[in-house]
Structure 1
Amino acid sequence: MKKTTLNFLLLLFAVTVMVLAIWGPEAISGYRDKSVLNEIHVKDAEGEGEGYRYSLSRSDKLYILAEALNSQTLPESGQYTAERQEAPGETYGGTAGTYAFIVNHRGPSDREIKEEELFEAVNEGLDTLKKLGILPESVRDANAAAYDAVLYSAIDVLEPRNNVAVWKVSLSNIQKNNDRGNRLIDAYIDADDGKLYEFYVRTELTWEDMDPDGIAENWSGYLGLLAPLPYEGNNPLMEMTPYFKKYKLTGAGKGDTTATVGYYDGIQELFVKISR
């Protein structure tokens, strides 16, 4: 009798274990689903745009922006309405296709300059360039009513966390049909700190009034970079104007960047640029 009872209990235990093995996981999963569905769950997350970008040196930022600008075609100035032909035998590196310059639809992060703060930063930059002797005092302040502003990202496609957020500020088409004298025409501005990486400015000065070496040195100092070196192999056909001088800005990480100080005589426009 005792043996029969023991066998029955063992059989009952085995059946119970089998039922739990089959039904248990499904029941637990359903219970968990009920605890998640149809309820609002709050979880702290990183702020908008935070944590997606490496901290880059100034020279690396400049290099990435230059390569990204060179990878696309955008009108940089009124002088560029004609198609630019690259001078025979001249190249700017073999990185085409590995950098991109795209509109940043996310908007500025908490750490970056907002659109409502942008022109205060632009005018601070212009004032600094005037004090350094890069721009004449006659250049007028910029304002939101007269300019268009778009936030872009310059991206290293092979390593997307290496990217630079820049504001592109351009005198609006309406204003371009009016008085453009002594005005900023186009500029690329660091969205982190407002530094002007590239700019085109109408001025009353002539090329003979300018010191391109001094402009290049003061501008690189303004960016916190080493003094520029002469660019070897200057070709007079590299630009759409005979009035220019090129420099090499040495970089510690990504590579060197070519910068150009130039002047369009017909429209009296000074430019400092890192794109072609």
Structure 2
Amino acid sequence: MRKMIFSLFLLLFTVLIMLLSIAGPELFARYRDKAILGQIYTRAMESDGEGYRYTLSPGEKLYILSESLGRQMFPESEQYALTRDSGYGDLDGTYAFVLNHKGPSGKEITDYQIYETCNQGLAALKELGILPDTVRNVDSGAYDATLYSAIDVLEPRNNVAVWKLELASIQKNTDRENRLMEAYIDADNGKIYEFYARTPLTWENMDPDRIAGDWAEYMGLEAPTPYETDNPLMEATPYFSKYVCSGVGDQKTIVTIGFYEGINELFLKISR
């Protein structure tokens, strides 16, 4: 009799376990849904523009901007423009240099701040002896400022916001001696990546090796090494020296320091 009762109990227990294994998940899901439905939950989200860019090293930013300028370039100075196509080019490719229609994100230098930021950058370059003290400050009345983005097309989060500052086209009759003609400025930290400036100096008065080393330190880069080339026609002037700076991974960035005789224009450029 006891064996029969035990067997019946074991059978009922087994059936109960089978029923729970079949119906249990559905019952649990219904219970969980009842607990969630009809309730309002909030979650902090990133606002527009936040988290859009990775934090890049100085070398990575330099490389992305250099590659972007080389593929999507507007003419720089009067002399240098002779060696460039005047068109905007094709945005397709690995890198692109495009107008930033959204404007500063809130973390970046604004169009009201850029002129003072540029003057601070010029002061830093003068203190390092990269530019002579005779180069004049910039202001909103004489210069145009435009915000651009240099983008790694295959990884858009890798992008660099830069301000392009140039002497306004309406200033054609303005005295250009000791003027900054054009500059590309980091929209985050205000560092000057590239510049063209009229100075009283001549190429013989300049030490491009020292300029390259001091500029690299100013940018937070490793010391550059000379880039040897047997092609004297790489630039529109015979007065230039090229250097190699660290870039992305094994990739390198070529930095050129040169001088346009006749208009006495010193330039430091990272574009090809």
In which range does the TM-score fall when normalised by the shorter chain? 0.7 to 0.9
Indicate the residue corresponding to 2:167 in structure 1: 171
Q: How does 1:82-231 map to 2 (within 5 A)?
A: 82-84=82-84, 97-231=93-227
- What amino acid maps onto 1:53 in structure 2? R
- What amino acid maps onto 2:97 in structure 1? F
Indicate the residue corresponding to 1:14 in structure 2: none
Indicate the residue corresponding to 2:81 in structure 1: 81
| Cα root mean square deviation, aligned | 2.2
Is contact 1:49–1:106 with CA below 8 Å preserved after alignment? no
- What amino acid maps onto 2:75 in structure 1? P
Which range is displaced more, 260-269 or 168-177?
A: 168-177
Q: Give the Cα–Cα distance (whole angstroms) in 2 for the partners of residues 137 and 253 of structure 1.
A: 37
Indicate the residue corresponding to 2:4 in structure 1: none
Is contact 1:112–1:192 with CA below 8 Å preserved after alignment? yes
Q: Give the Cα–Cα distance (whole angstroms) in 2 for the partners of residues 149 and 254 of structure 1.
A: 33
Q: Give the Cα–Cα distance (whole angstroms) in 2 for the partners of residues 152 and 120 of structure 1.
A: 18
Q: Give the Cα–Cα distance (whole angstroms) in 1 for the partners of residues 250 and 182 of structure 2.
A: 26
Q: Give the Cα–Cα distance (whole angstroms) in 1 for the partners of residues 111 and 47 of structure 2.
A: 18
TM-score by length of 1: 0.78
- What amino acid maps onto 1:215 in structure 2? I
TM-score by length of 2: 0.79
How many percent of aligned residue pairs carry the same amino acid? Answer: 62
Q: Give the Cα–Cα distance (whole angstroms) in 2 for the partners of residues 119 and 254 of structure 1.
A: 35
- What amino acid maps onto 2:57 in structure 1? S
Structure 2 spans left out of the alignment, 5+ residues: 1-37, 86-91
Is contact 1:186–1:199 with CA below 8 Å preserved after alignment? yes
Structure 1 spans left out of the alignment, 5+ residues: 1-31, 33-41, 86-95
Q: Secondary structure at the match of 1:109?
A: coil
Is contact 1:165–1:192 with CA below 8 Å preserved after alignment? yes
- The Cα shift of 1:219 comes to 0.4
Q: Give the Cα–Cα distance (whole angstroms) in 1 for the partners of residues 256 and 66 of structure 2.
A: 12
Q: Give the Cα–Cα distance (whole angstroms) in 2 for the partners of residues 189 and 75 of structure 1.
A: 16
- What amino acid maps onto 2:218 in structure 1? Y
Aligned residues: 230
Indicate the residue corresponding to 1:60 in structure 2: 60
Is contact 1:48–1:110 with CA below 8 Å preserved after alignment? no
Q: Secondary structure at the match of 2:51?
A: coil
Is contact 1:234–1:246 with CA below 8 Å preserved after alignment? no
Is contact 1:60–1:255 with CA below 8 Å preserved after alignment? no
Q: Give the Cα–Cα distance (whole angstroms) in 2 for the partners of residues 164 and 200 of structure 1.
A: 20
Q: Secondary structure at the match of 1:115?
A: coil
- The Cα shift of 1:234 comes to 4.2
Q: Secondary structure at the match of 2:55?
A: coil
- What amino acid maps onto 1:261 in structure 2? I
